[in-house]
């Protein structure tokens, strides 16, 4: 019985020794069953690595040219030339991430493009009269209103239609002078004296001009010449088509040249005033296309143009007023209505454009991450221009056609900053630093 136990124990001991040797071979990458010659061949195939310097495992800033131990008795870690070759040649902060990790963190990219950048400005506007199409009618002389043919505000009038009849002593006397001048010219037409005949003609001419300056219509003057009959009340006609917005006198009222008889507005074209913010001012220019929508006219859009930008800003709102011009043939646009204004800015810039989401902003600095190759990202500081509809103009630092990261760049940025900081800490000491350190120890 004891003999059997001894045999089993010997067998188990042999198995344990063999298993231990096999495990040791797995850990070292070699098997003890391989001959010494084969082992030497394998070691000969591996290139010898050059040690640049040695670094403390506890404090990476402490380095040594020769193997050494730190205060705790731990060996310095060797830093090889081939391990730092790529890092030394790469830009500071460059990140290399496994492609699987890139996919897992959701990295998306886009191509920097050179294209035309435009801008859409939206604002609130107010419809108003076209000041160039407004008429304020005043009498040329003192007198009394005899009759009003147009006596209601909002009434539509045509050019040349009668507005009112006015009696003025000056108009009566001017008609008398004109008739006397005409009769005098007829009496002196056969005069042998040229100077006298010329004087009579000049008198007729000056008398007629006085009537014209007093705003007497041409057909009244012709009728006066024909009938030789003086009219006490003369008609005043509207000088343009439009809507009567104001009536300043009534029948029997005494009026002077300072009295505004009518205010007439032509609404076939209207102005719309819009407020533009200061940061959008660089986009707009005269002639830009504009559209408006009004809640009172649902389903309709009206197209116009930017006509003028006022040379001052509103102190309270910090906005700049712009004037837009719109045709209004149906006269649906009424002064005082509010409108939603859309201005299609005319300034277009041919430049490198990238998505705004690709920008990593840190204080006054802006940077993007450029894809150098699969899984390798390089931080690049860029100078930005104008921003429009989620697109940003790059003035410096990036070329068209380069691929940039548009999502998960904050994770890459954190890794990049960590790599950059670590690289600065792990830089080998320069010769002058070593010498100065040695002189201090001396």
Quick one: tokens of 229? 């009959």
CA neighbor of 113 nearest in space, from 279, 291, 355: 355
Compute the C-alpha angle 182/188/190, nearest 5°. 130
Cα-based distances in Å from 357 to 39, 119, 131, 211, 271 = 56, 18, 46, 74, 39
* CB contact at 8 A, 270 and 127: yes
What's the confidence (pLDDT) of residue 59? Answer: 67
Count of CB atoms within 10 A of residue 286's CB?
12
Cα-based distances in Å from 119 to 166, 285, 298 = 57, 12, 25
Strands 349-355 and 376-388: unpaired
Residue with tokens 């830089």: 427
Strands 289-294 and 77-80: unpaired
The CATH T-level fold of domain 90-117+349-425 is: 2.40.420
Question: Is 70 exceeded by the pLDDT of residue 385?
Answer: yes
* CB contact at 8 A, 309 and 322: yes
Quick one: tokens of 395? 């003035």
More confident residue, 69 or 105: 69
Every domain of the chain and the residues it spans: 1-46, 51-89, 90-117+349-425, 120-130+266-344, 139-260
CA neighbor of 270 nearest in space, from 320, 337, 319, 343: 337
Rg (CA), the chain: 48
The segment with the largest mean pLDDT, out of 94-108, 274-288, 370-384, is 274-288
What's the confidence (pLDDT) of residue 81? Answer: 60
Q: Tens digit of pLDDT for each residue in 342-365?
A: 998 866 667 888 888 888 887 778
pTM (2 d.p.): 0.55
Burial class (CB in 10 A: 0-12, 13-18, 19+), 132: exposed
Question: Is 70 exceeded by the pLDDT of residue 13?
Answer: no
| Residues 373, 102: Cα–Cα separation, whole Å | 12
Kindly indicate the confidence band of residue 157, based on its pLDDT and cuts at 50, 70 and 90.
very high
Q: Percentage of the chain with pLDDT > 70?
A: 74
CB < 8 Å & 24+ apart, contacts of 398-401: 398/112, 398/352, 398/354, 398/368, 398/370, 399/112, 399/352, 400/112, 400/113, 400/114, 400/352, 401/111, 401/112
Where is average pLDDT lowest: 17-21, 97-101, 350-354?
17-21
Highest CATH level, class, for 120-130+266-344? mainly beta
Beta pairing partners, 323: 273, 308
Q: Tens digit of pLDDT for each residue in 316-341?
A: 888 999 999 999 999 899 999 999 99
Kindly indicate the confidence band of residue 437, based on its pLDDT and cuts at 50, 70 and 90.
very low
| Residues 310, 339: Cα–Cα separation, whole Å | 19
Residue 80, C-beta contacts closer than 8 angstroms, at least 6 positions apart: 49, 50, 51, 52
Cα-based distances in Å from 437 to 355, 414, 432, 441 = 50, 33, 8, 7
The segment with the largest mean pLDDT, out of 4-18, 99-113, 254-268, is 254-268
Q: Tens digit of pLDDT for each residue in 57-91?
A: 666 667 788 888 888 788 887 876 655 444 445 55
The CATH T-level fold of domain 139-260 is: OB fold (Dihydrolipoamide Acetyltransferase, E2P) (2.40.50)
């Amino acid at each position: 019985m004891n003999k059997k136990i001894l045999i089993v124990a010997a067998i188990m001991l042999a198995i344990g020794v063999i298993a231990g040797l096999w495990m040791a071979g797995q850990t070292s990458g070699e098997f003890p069953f391989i001959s010494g010659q084969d082992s030497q061949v394998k070691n000969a195939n591996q290139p010898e690595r050059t040690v640049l310097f040695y670094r403390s495992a506890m404090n990476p800033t402490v380095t040594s040219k020769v193997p050494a131990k730190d205060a705790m008795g731990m060996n310095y870690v060797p830093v090889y030339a081939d391990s730092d070759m790529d890092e030394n040649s790469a830009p500071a902060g460059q990140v290399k991430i496994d492609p699987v990790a890139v996919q897992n963190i959701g990295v998306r990219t886009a191509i920097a493009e050179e294209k035309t950048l435009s801008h859409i400005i939206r604002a609130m506007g107010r419809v108003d009269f076209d000041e160039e199409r407004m008429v304020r009618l005043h009498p040329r002389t003192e007198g009394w209103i005899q009759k009003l043919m147009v006596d209601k505000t909002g009434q539509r009038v045509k050019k040349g239609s009668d507005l009112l009849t006015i009696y003025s002593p000056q108009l009566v006397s001017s008609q008398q002078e004109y008739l006397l001048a005409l009769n005098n010219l007829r009496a002196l037409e056969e005069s042998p004296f040229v100077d006298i005949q010329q004087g009579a003609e000049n008198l007729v001419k000056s008398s007629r001009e006085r009537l014209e300056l007093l705003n007497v219509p041409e057909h009244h003057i012709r009728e006066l010449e024909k009938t030789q009959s003086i009219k006490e009340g003369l008609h005043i006609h509207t000088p343009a088509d439009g809507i009567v917005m104001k009536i300043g006198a009534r029948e029997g009222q005494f009026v002077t040249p300072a009295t505004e008889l009518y205010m007439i507005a032509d609404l076939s074209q209207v102005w719309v005033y819009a407020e533009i913010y200061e940061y959008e001012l660089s986009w707009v220019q005269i002639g830009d296309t504009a559209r408006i929508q009004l809640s009172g006219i649902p389903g309709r859009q009206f197209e116009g143009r930017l006509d003028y930008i006022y040379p001052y800003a509103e102190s309270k709102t910090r906005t700049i007023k712009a004037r837009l011009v719109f045709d209004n043939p149906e006269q649906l646009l009424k002064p005082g209505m509010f409108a939603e204004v859309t201005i299609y800015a005319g300034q277009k810039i041919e430049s490198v454009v990238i998505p705004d989401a690709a920008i990593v902003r840190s204080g006054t600095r802006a940077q993007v991450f450029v894809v150098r190759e699969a899984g390798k990202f390089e931080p690049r500081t860029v100078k930005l221009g104008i921003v429009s509809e989620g697109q940003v103009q790059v003035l410096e630092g990036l070329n068209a056609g380069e691929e940039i990261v548009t999502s998960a760049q904050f994770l890459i940025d954190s890794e990049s900053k960590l790599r950059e900081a670590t690289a600065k800490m792990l830089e080998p000491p320069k010769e002058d630093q070593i010498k100065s350190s040695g002189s201090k120890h001396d």
